[in-house]
Structure 1
């Protein structure tokens, strides 16, 4: 008898379960049906994901084949345009020069392309869903449990169906990153719009604003801090997922970290981890500064 069950009846010591043969048959049926479904619609799946592959490959080629000084200047210009803070620009310059000095420039460019495409997809998906959830309590009740599952389910678990459907390569890695990164965008969009003062909406209605005008001219501008926080968190989640995505064929810094773990290369793992942290800090500071600037611009214009 199992330890801890010596004083209990046998019926209470063993959790009821299906017979092994029944459970085995059920697993084979489900797995076989899933694979057959994927084989049947494989052409459609490839056609649907082809634009993602093209977008990622194009951006990767642009980042890796362009001279590093040109990429650095463009990146600094974007950081300055977003933040208007010379301290962030100087920090970005030092971080990128250090990455180049450690011979991680190409891998960093691959990771930047991956994060850029995944963030854009997550925002395009998350923003409208968040808006719909904010305008409909029924939709919010449907969306919230789905988001809870997406955020609590271990990423290694949903990598399995993603790999079965899309195979090994960049596309399944992108889809896994988007699944992990899109919930903050949806939640914060929903929260930001719902937190808009009801009196402001009533005033807009009194001036004859339509539902679209209220959304575009009132709710989204007032929810801008929450929206920018959602974009910021989406970027951070995308970066944190690149190591896991490297398990299904995504290159870049995540692949190097995974190799360092497998081979116990402490220095290699630390340097690539430093590059990931540096990129995360740059994105975080620039996006936050951009959100503050937009909010101040809105306040000044309304005053």
Structure 2
């Protein structure tokens, strides 16, 4: 008896990986120029161009994958490949944030106490920075820059509540999908997208407050560096996650997804839960401790 084998669809060559690489390059170059104050308005313009290119890439690539799926080109083996790919992608993001959290912990646990004369480094303390006070957050630099720490009450706490609520709403949307309740699915997923957008708006407000009222900037020593790198990269991931969920909401309104076939939605919800967990770590180790 012949063994039945699954077909495995091999897509045609696509321009979207190259477009995505270009978008990431423009984002990185624009962010670097913007932060360093190089070439005036060029930095924000390059960053905006990168954002536009990445948005076009996401919509275009998603459109291709959706079209191929609706044509019945994907098999169970292809579905497993998608799941494995998304799992490895999230793992790579865990390692990405792990590197920045590692830098934060190194500064707090090792570098700052060492500069303060901990262990056998009393002479180093006297030579390098005799007036250094080994406390965290580090609110002054050798160059004389003074800043104020960002407290956890207020906007950070509100944003934490918003993201935790968004995890609940996206889970409710998933349950509605499994129960074939399309109305509830649209409502809960729409609420999740709005909560993500609200989080980003409040984070912008927080940054304006930090720059204008607290004197907390990217060049405010190791505390300013770690604060803006960790919260800024997380904000970029929230932006991506919100865009992904918005695309899923558009698909839901077009009648896409069934209880048996909805990995696009599921992958987006995985990513959103990951973003929420990262924020909880940020809230504890950056704002509270």
Question: Whose radius of gyration is greater, 1 or 2?
Answer: 1
Instruction: Tell me the TM-score normalised to structure 1 length.
Output: 0.28
Instruction: Tell me the TM-score normalised to structure 2 length.
Output: 0.29
